[in-house]
Chain A
Amino acid sequence: MRLFSKLVLALLILVMFSTPLLYAQRRVELLGAGASFPAPLITAMADEYRDLTEGKVTVNYQSIGSGGGIRQFGEQTIMFGMSEAFLSDKIIRGIEQNTGGKAFNMPITLADVVVTYNIPGIDKGLIFNGEVLADIFLGKITHWNDRRIRNLNPDKNLPHLPIQVVHRSDGSGTTNLFTSYLTKVSKEWENDIGYATSVNWPTGIGANGNEGVAGIVMNTPGAIGYNSFAYALLNDLSYGYMLNISENVIPPSFDATSAAANIELPDDTRILFTNTPNPIGYPIAGFAWMLCYENMEQNKAISSKQEAEELIKFIVWTMTNGQNLSQQLGYAKLPSAAVERNYAMIRQMKWHGEPIGKNILEK
């Protein structure tokens, strides 16, 4: 008798769990995963989009990191990936061999990194240039009243305080951007350290996450670190202004970040535009990319043409109306140069040879 009631219970549980699955068949769930930096934006976009489609299209985005996003995209367990690093030539070649089509990197939003610091008596607005920043993070400039920092900030009264360098200890796109900037402005950095999501730091202490760096910077007089701009704004950290390659002082702002990307972009948008040539652009900024296949039927995670079409519609929406969510959440808007490139890529997307991307864009 007892066994029987247990069986009934098990059956009930099974039914409970399978009901949502049965329902899900009628709706479309877009499955994505990858970088954690754009996750709040994608989640907000997903909510908005679900309301817009009256619950028909839900987006399930898992923030597992860029590395995981690229890997799962290659293993075809997700419909789209997200990454703060673009796909390497090797990965793209491999995908071309497997699917007979390209893998697209489509910029979906922008990341920007600001230098944050804690100097008693000095608010935001300390001016840095690339060389000085590189030498601070190389451990060659050790005090705040160093001549080279003073020269950039003649009106500031800088104390004789040792500089405490704080960097991210976890692998992150923020580190990738920041070190790519330092690589472009300093030969020594390029030769000895390089750029990646985590590097072999020559000096300083590592803190975990944006919150870890911010926490240590706030609690350590003399500290200098780097954070994403939105994080520095939200937490009221003192942040520096950058002297860009055109010798203009650029206070970090969403517009300056968008401007940084508004340059001549390659067709596949695979570019690190840190140290941007745009004279009004903020120099430590970069794209976060959405990853998609050209031949969508080849992606095992996409099971029907309907799903592929809904995915393209969602992507188009994120690049147009979806961008309006950006600034309130602390992200810069995509510049027109990037949107144009994205449209060109979407036009090439196919389902068994049928140009569904082109058809959707023309509607």
Chain B
Amino acid sequence: MQHDNNKEITSLLKKQRPLIYRWLGDRIFSLFIFALGITVILCTVLMAIVLYSDGAPAINKFGFFGFLINKVWDPAIKIEFGAFPFIVGTLITSVASLAISFVPAIAVAIFTAEYSPRWLAHITDNLINLIAAVPSVIIGLWGIFVFAPWMRDTFYTNIYMWSMDNFPSLLPILGNPIGYGMATATLILAIMIIPYTTALTVDAFHKVPKEQREAAYALGATKWEVVKMAVIPYARGGILAGVMLSFGRAIGETMAVAMLIGNKNTLPFTILGPASTMPSVIVNEFREAVENLHLSSLIAVGFYLFIISLVVNLVAAYIQRRFSITGARTV
């Protein structure tokens, strides 16, 4: 009896709006969610506006493109600033670290998702995620006290000596093998971004439908061939998403890089020698920038960094949409 009644009421209400959408709690919730969503967008826009307006004195003085391509950064004598060395440093370190980390990251993902027994996959997964959880200042400290001296004694000095004997023309490109420089910073960055690529790739692998694999096996493919032909192509959207996330992370990484890159503000940079990046110069000089133009230039560097990150993210979204196979869209 009651059941019938309910049915009647529901069908009656269906003509207007479903009952569940008219509950007060539901309305409050949707308003709340809407407000939060708008806040995030507003924050981003406000950030861009503030970065631009605070950086405006520098951008106006040196010009929008002038600031971008000016190679001088001199807060003491000339009071002249340009972002070019830092843009170069940022792009080189992030692209190089991405290139270095790509193959190991994918390899770890293939291993944990396809090859290893479950208990081992569990351990490797956790260990890899642990790298992402370590604060970058800790990684930087480890880099200063352990990694950089070790790299210097094991590789850099030997490479330097070897090229001194065999290819003296290489020396100006190699630079000072002191251990604190672009090569060390890039390697540390590569280690730091591996978890991002790996995590998203593993997720993408797990989302490959079982039928896909089984079909490949049915055709007589070996395990490697299954991974190569059925799994990776299907998951490439997710892999690219991971790569782009890593790239964004590498561009923005601040503390570990600032501690290890050697912080040289003038071009040219060398492979082993010191260099610097956009985030590192900001974190280095922001606190004690007494000169107004100096502060404003640092904020302008932040503005350009914002733009670069934005472009990277947009490109990433585009690539991901282009390359995803329908149904395997991840994240």
Residues of chain A whose beta carbon lies under 8 Å from any beta carbon of chain B: 36, 64-68, 70, 85, 164, 169-173, 179, 191-201, 204-208, 212, 215-216, 219-220, 223
Contact = CB atoms under 8 A, between A and B. Distances in A.
B291 interface: yes
B284 A206 contact: yes
B145 A215 contact: yes
In the A-B complex, the 6 residue pairs with the smallest Cβ-Cβ separation, listed nearest first, are A206-B263, A171-B288, A169-B263, A65-B287, A194-B76, A205-B262
Given A169-B258, A219-B148, A200 B76 contact: yes
Main secondary structure of the interface of B (DSSP, over half): loop
Main secondary structure of the interface of A (DSSP, over half): loop
Contact of A220 (B75, B149, B259): B149
A171 B285 CA distance: 5
B266 A200 contact: yes
B274 A205 contact: yes
Contacts, number: 119
A4 B174 CA distance: 69
Interface stretch (B54-62, B120-128, B177-185, B224-232): B177-185
Contact of B265 (A70, A170, A201): A201
B154 to A, nearest CB: 14
A195 B284 contact: no
B243 to A, nearest CB: 29
Given A171-B289, A196-B76, A201-B265, 8 more contacts: A67-B287, A169-B258, A169-B276, A170-B283, A196-B290, A197-B289, A205-B273, A206-B276
Nearest to B178: A164
A303 to B, nearest CB: 28
Contacts of B290: 66-67, 70, 85, 171, 196-197
Interface string B272-300: 01101000100111111111000100000
A66 B148 contact: no
A125 B145 CA distance: 25
Nearest to B179: A220
Contacts of A212: 144, 259
B74 interface: yes
A207 B264 CA distance: 10
B31 to A, nearest CB: 15
Nearest to B74: A200
B76 A171 contact: no
Contacts of B181: 205
Given A164-B176, A205-B180, A64 B287 contact: yes
A82 to B, nearest CB: 12
Nearest to A85: B290
B306 interface: no
A155 B75 CA distance: 40
B73 interface: yes
B20 interface: no
Given A201-B265, A220-B178, A208 B287 contact: no
Contacts of B289: 67, 171, 197-198
Contacts of B75: 171, 196-200
A199 B264 CA distance: 11
Contacts of A191: 77
Nearest to A167: B263
Nearest to B265: A200
Contacts of B180: 205, 207, 216, 220
A171 B77 contact: no
Contacts of A197: 75, 285, 288-290
5 contacts: A70-B290, A197-B290, A198-B289, A199-B75, A220-B152
A201 B291 CA distance: 18
Given A171-B288, A199-B76, A205-B263, A219 B176 contact: no
Nearest to B149: A219
Contacts of B259: 207-208, 212
Contact of A200 (B73, B152, B286): B73
A164 B175 CA distance: 13
A298 B149 CA distance: 55
A212 B280 CA distance: 14
B140 to A, nearest CB: 8
A192 B295 contact: no
A170 B178 contact: no
A322 to B, nearest CB: 25
A287 B264 CA distance: 28
A171 B180 CA distance: 19
Residue of B74, B148, B178, B291 with most partner-chain A CB within 10 A? B178
A196 B289 CA distance: 9
B233 to A, nearest CB: 44
B287 A170 contact: yes
B284 A205 contact: no
Given A200-B265, A216-B180, A193 B77 contact: yes
Contacts of B152: 220
Nearest to A65: B287
Given A205-B180, A207-B180, A198 B274 contact: no
